[in-house]
Amino acid sequence: MTAPHEEMACQTCLSPLNTLGMPPTYVHPTHLATDGHEPAPVPVSQLDTVRRNCDFCGDPYPIWTLHGGEVTAIAIGPTAGLVQDFGDSWAACAACQTHIDEGRSDKVIDRAVRELGLTHHPQARQRIEELHLAFLNARLPGRTLITTTTWPATTIPAAELPKVRDRLTRFYRGTDNLPAPLGITDTRQHIATGLERSHLYWIDNDFTDLAEHAAGQLPDVRISRDLIPSTDGILIWPRPVTHRQLTAASWTDTPHGRTVVLYRTIGAGLHGKPLQRLREQVGWLAPTSATHLPEQHLIPGDHPAAALVATWLLIAQQTADVTTARVDRAVAKTYARTNKPVPEVRVVRIHGHRTTTGSDGQPTPGSQERSQTSRFWVSGHWRNQAHGPGRALRRPVYIHPFLRGPDDAPIKLSTTVRMLSSHQPKPQDCQ
């Protein structure tokens, strides 16, 4: 639960912190099990991930921030009183939000009692009811999407990409708020327009492995229009990539310049009406960060969009074979009913492997392979390549891992072999 001042979280465990007394002292929530570390307060606006819970029932996947009555609890002891500020902004999970939308505060309280294991404690239920009603009875209109929750991964098939894109577009055009730190409140209508005309890209598993590996060692890159595969686009990876757990990215030109938005999937594990409402109101993707990339803007290799930039670069250097996917039949029928053309989904795969030999099978000129008596692995790496007018510009080009040395020579046994692979989570249906 949050306080009226800027919300703080613990940088160690990423959990929101409660406040005690005045001036406020930051403490971990009483229900949170920690390893005993002291709170390390930082503003939540500085974090990509916050491990918050639903403030009504404790569910670990809250989706909305609601604003209501200021709630303060005062505990009086024999020697002194303790003041705990629960704030006027509470997080709600999809199930609690469904009950709130239906005006069933009793079901919100019942769910909280059940989920917190307090069904046999009548006094506990009464205290929970007092806290919840103090907030809900003074609830203000509107709500804000929580974008820092890390949901379990949802696999989005290529055939479903038009539906996912359209639902995201509708959310941007809706009235639900986005967190101010994202910085796209004033441009969300332009982003929606860009999504409507965007090219759709679905990256296959092998290409995703390659892009993630390349992103981990990406050098500083200057963004130019010829680097980007289309003016407006949305791109889906089949699994979360990098430590930021990104699943998708979109880009479009806005009055503020080229805007890139990164996304995570949401809703995995939900069922019934809460899942249906979430898919209808938000969709499958929630934005986690946004950045503006003007022409020739230099971004560092550790930029949040590194995985996207690496994917762009690999496509631009013709590392990719691009084919089209059959769109889901229900999606195609929806487009037919509205007399709209069915969008094309581009599937991006790794192009055939390149070798270090010429067309005749011999080592390329200048190589030292003929004088080598063994083969060894050269790890994948980036190398600057000249391009542009007079070849005066430089762009990173990714060199795939390859064996160097004569084809008939043995592989050097002391060589460390680095394989492009990753642990694949168990696929889930696109719910």
pLDDT in tens, 144-155: 999 999 899 999
If asked whether residues 34 and 112 sit together in one domain, one would say yes
Query: Is 426 part of any domain?
Result: no
Average pLDDT value for residue range 314-335? 87
Nearest to 252 by CA among 278, 270, 228, 220: 228
Mean pLDDT of the chain: 81
Lowest-pLDDT choice from 249-253, 294-298, 395-399? 395-399
Last residue of a domain, one of 145, 179, 204: 145
Q: What is the pLDDT of residue 200?
A: 96
CB distance 252 to 232 below 8 Å: yes
If asked whether residues 296 and 233 sit together in one domain, one would say yes
Query: Is 191 part of any domain?
Result: yes
- Give percent of the chain with pLDDT exceeding 70: 78
Query: Is 153 part of any domain?
Result: no
If asked whether residues 135 and 198 sit together in one domain, one would say no
pLDDT category, 88, cuts 50, 70, 90?
Answer: confident
Average pLDDT value for residue range 405-421? 48
If asked whether residues 140 and 173 sit together in one domain, one would say no
H helices of 140-256, where? 161-172, 188-196, 205-215
Per DSSP, the three-state class of 106 is: helix
Query: Is 221 part of any domain?
Result: yes
Query: Is 61 part of any domain?
Result: yes
Helices 272-281 and 161-172, packing angle to 10 deg: 70
Query: Is 192 part of any domain?
Result: yes
pLDDT category, 420, cuts 50, 70, 90?
Answer: very low
Q: What is the pLDDT of residues 360-388, one digit of tens each?
A: 333 444 444 445 666 544 566 677 777 66
Last residue of a domain, one of 92, 124, 145: 145
Query: Is 363 part of any domain?
Result: no
Q: What is the pLDDT of residue 120?
A: 81
If asked whether residues 201 and 325 sit together in one domain, one would say yes
Amino acid at 411: I
pLDDT exceeds 70 at position 414: no
Average pLDDT value for residue range 6-20? 84
If asked whether residues 134 and 201 sit together in one domain, one would say no
Q: What is the pLDDT of residue 85?
A: 55
If asked whether residues 166 and 256 sit together in one domain, one would say yes
Query: Is 375 part of any domain?
Result: no
If asked whether residues 135 and 252 sit together in one domain, one would say no
Last residue of a domain, one of 302, 323, 350: 350
pLDDT category, 79, cuts 50, 70, 90?
Answer: very low
Task: Show the tokens assigned to 99.
Answer: 């009950």
If asked whether residues 140 and 176 sit together in one domain, one would say no
DSSP state of 363: B
Q: How far apart are CA 325 and CA 104, in angstroms?
A: 44
If asked whether residues 101 and 243 sit together in one domain, one would say no
If asked whether residues 212 and 245 sit together in one domain, one would say yes
Structural domain for 324, as ranges:
158-350
Split into its structural domains, the chain has a count of: 2
If asked whether residues 129 and 171 sit together in one domain, one would say no
